[in-house]
Structures are given as C-alpha cells and as structure tokens.
Amino acid sequence: MNSKKSLFVIICVVLVSLIMSSMVVNAAYPTYVSVIRTKANPSKISKSGYTKITSSFKLIGGAREKFHSGNWAIAYVSNKTSYSVKYTIEILDDRRFYFDKRLYGPKTYTRTAKIFQRANGLFGVEITLEDGKKVIPNSNLEAQELMFNFSKTNRISARALGSGKNRVYTRIKANWSGYLFSGSETVEDKKLPRVTVTVLK
C-alpha cells in the first residue's frame, strides 16, 4: 500500500471515530455567546453631536474548539469544506417601562470559511469577513479569533437618542454551521450590558 492510500485509510478511520463521538462532544461542549460588551465614545454629547457605539462579543465553546487544522483535514476528505457564522445586531435605547427605542438595525453580517489543501499537503482555511476581505490565518488561534470574535462600531446621533440619560444596549442573535457543529442563540435582553449616553440640554 503506497503512502497516499495509507493516509487515506488513516483519515477514514479517524473520520468514523469522530462521527461516532460527535453526539457526546456536542453535549459536553455547547457553543454560546459570551464576553458581551457595549461601549460609547463619548458618553456625553451635545444636542447636535453624536456618539460611537461599539458592540462586541465572542462565540465560546464547542464550535470554537472544533475549528482547527485537525478537523479541517477530516472535513476536507468528507467533502464538507464550508463554515458559516451569521450574526445580527440591533442597537436599542432601554426605555424600561415603555417599548425600547431602536437606534440601529437589525442588520445581519456573515463570515465564511473554506478549507483548502496547501502545497505541503497540510490543510488551511480562507476566511471571508463581513466586508468581503479574504484572510488566510497562520495558526489555529488566529483562525478562531477571526471566525468567532466580533466587534462593530456604529454612529448614533443625539437626535436619535433624545435629551437626558439613555441606557443603550445591543441585541444579539448568532447562528453557526460547519463540520461537527451547528446551532444558534439569541441572548435575552435582560442579560445584555447597558451603557449610559447623556445628551446635554
């Protein structure tokens, strides 16, 4: 048996093993939205001014941990070479006893990854970011950060906010799919951090 056939047999054995254990792995390592932050710069503005709201979060857990070169090789052989992460953000003003006021969105962004085989026989991924930029990460850690760390900044005017103190937060929904993982999560509003933006009188 030549080296290529030997490699193929090994990959097939590992593939079967991973498929048999995937249910256990998915149960043990759920994926969830975490490290949610909302920041305002500046936090005090005039009636004619604006602030920049930066919303950031990470996907933590099974999907992130399974996104590495070892699994890319198995996925490539099984012809499952694509990954996708979609997330929707909506910026709101928490009015407490009234309906919250929408300041931005909802808007959905998409990141994708495509597995490829390098000239040396190893496997990598090409990640396409929300703006269409394509990046080939140099390590598993860089790939995980590019695929599962999110940060968006949006400009919000004082007119949209209204005078006085405003409790601003970002509503988040995310879903992910790819080899050995798929799922979605909508974070409850009450669990989302608020940032105070004051429009001066």
| CA distance between the termini of the chain | 81
Q: How far is the C-alpha of 78 from the C-alpha of 88, rounded, in Å?
A: 30
- Which pLDDT score, from 0 to 100, does residue 199 have? 97
Q: How far is the C-alpha of 14 from the C-alpha of 145, rounded, in Å?
A: 26
The neighbour count for residue 125, using CB atoms within 10 Å, is 25
**Cis check: omega of the bond before 193, within 30 degrees of 0:** no
Residue type present at position 30 = P
- Which pLDDT score, from 0 to 100, does residue 23 have? 41
- Which pLDDT score, from 0 to 100, does residue 167 have? 97
Total H helices, total E strands in the chain: 5, 11
Is residue 74 helix, strand or coil? helix
DSSP string for 44-97: EE-TT-EEEEEEEEEEEEHHHHH-SHHHHHHHHHTT--EEEEEEEEEEEEE-TT
- Which pLDDT score, from 0 to 100, does residue 7 have? 52
Per-residue pLDDT of the chain (201 residues; tens, 9 = 90+): 455 554 554 455 455 545 544 443 444 578 999 999 999 999 999 999 999 999 999 999 999 999 999 999 999 999 999 999 999 999 999 987 788 999 999 999 999 999 999 998 899 999 999 999 999 999 999 999 999 999 999 999 999 999 999 999 999 999 999 988 889 999 999 999 999 999 998
- Which pLDDT score, from 0 to 100, does residue 108 have? 97
Residues whose CB falls within 8 Å of the CB of residue 14, separated by 6 or more in sequence, listed in order? 74
